Structure formats: structure tokens, C-alpha cells
Amino acid sequence: MPGTLKANDCLEIYESRVRLAIFVAMGIVMTAGALFMTGACIGVLFGFLGPPRSTVRELVGPVLVLLIGIVGIIMFGSAAVQGAVRWSGSRRPVLFMTRDGFRDIRISADWIPWSAILSLKNYRGKGIVVDVDPDFLRTSLRLGPVTRVMRRANGLLGNRGLWIAAFPLNISSRELLDVMTSLYRPAHGT
């Protein structure tokens, strides 16, 4: 595939309808779990599931789990809705690669040149972590809201870079890394 790209060719990668359906189903299950957890916490806090909590020490656990449940509802619910919209909409490519750079519309509408990429890593066969030059990221790349939030969360865990999820694509993460590496190397002279 990558060896056949001509100077102006663009490789377009689509999302798999089956994989998107699985993604949506997982999002619905996780949202339901977060709803159950939140409801149970409300039941505990208001005394519907046993005697009401009376001390601050007894309230800390249920309040913390309630907050985690609310975050789960928002995060998994929005992922399920976004996946359902992509699944039910017209089929279109989400990842574009040329000899000059790539664009993943799930991350940003902007093109990322290969020269701005510091490294590419396969993350446990689930996706590609793209380490982008911080100056380029700050000055030239407009990230989507979900990407900004996930980037901050990953940064707290010590993971730098942008995440390209390979699960919903019609290509495995290993094949995706091979294609990206074959286009990345000439830009860096390796």
C-alpha cells in the first residue's frame, strides 16, 4: 500500500461499521453501569438503601463514587452518542495520509506534517501514539474538545502525544503503524 503512493496520492482509511457498532454497544453498557453506580450512591446518600449517613466520614465514599459515576455517564455517554452518529451517518474516510503528512478528523481538522512528528508508537495493539512537536501543537494545531480533554488526562498519567484509535478503523494498528512509519521515515531522512 504505502509503496504505491504517488507524489499527490492520498490514502484514505474508513471506519468499520461492525467495529463502530461494537464501540457503541460497549459505550451503552458502560453508561448503564455508570448510571447504576450513580443511582446506588444517591440511594445510599438519601437513605433509600439503608439508614442515612450521619457523619462526614461516612459521606466521603458515596460522594466520591457519585462524582465518578457522573463523570462516567458524561464520558461514556458522549462516546456512545458520537459513535452512534458516525455509525448511522454516511460512510466517509476519517484518516488521510499523504507523503507530506496526515489528518485524522477525529483529532483535528488540520493536517499534521510528518516533519512535526517526533515519534510513532504502537500502544498495546489498540492504537498509535503520535508524539507531535510541542511548538507545532501549540501554534498550528487546533484540537477537538474531546482530544484536548483526553490529552490532558493522558498527560496526568505520563503519556505524551496524540492517540489515534485503531479499533474502529478498517485496518489493524500494526498495519496502520507500518503505513505511517513508511511515510514518516522519508520526512526525517531515516
Whether the per-residue pLDDT at 45 is higher than 80: the answer is yes
Residue 173 CB partners (closer than 8 Å, separation 6+): 122, 123, 125, 126, 127, 128, 166
| pTM of model > 0.85 | no
pLDDT of 8: 58
pLDDT, tens digit (0-9, with 9 covering 90-100), for 99-146: 999 999 888 888 999 999 998 988 777 788 888 888 888 888 888 777
Angle separating helix axes 17-45 and 56-88, nearest 10 degrees = 160
pLDDT at 69 over 90: yes
1-16 tens-digit pLDDT: 444 445 558 888 888 8
Task: Please determine, for residue 66, whether its predicted confidence score (pLDDT) is greater than 90.
Answer: yes
- Residue 190 binned pLDDT confidence (cut-offs 50, 70, 90): low
Q: How many CA atoms, within 13 angstroms, populate the side-chain half-sphere of residue 31? A: 15
What pLDDT does 138 receive? 85
- Pick 24 or 125 by higher pLDDT: 24
- The DSSP secondary-structure symbol of 166 reads -
Query: What is the identity of the amino acid at 138?
Result: R
Which pLDDT value is given to residue 163?
Answer: 83
- Would you call 132 helix, strand, or coil by DSSP? strand
The burial of 30, by beta-carbon neighbours within 10 Å (0-12 exposed, 13-18 middle, 19 or more buried), is given as middle
148-185 pLDDT per residue, tens: 887 887 778 777 788 888 888 888 889 999 999 998 88
Buried b (16+ CB within 10 A) or exposed e, 8-27: eeebebebbeebbeebbeeb
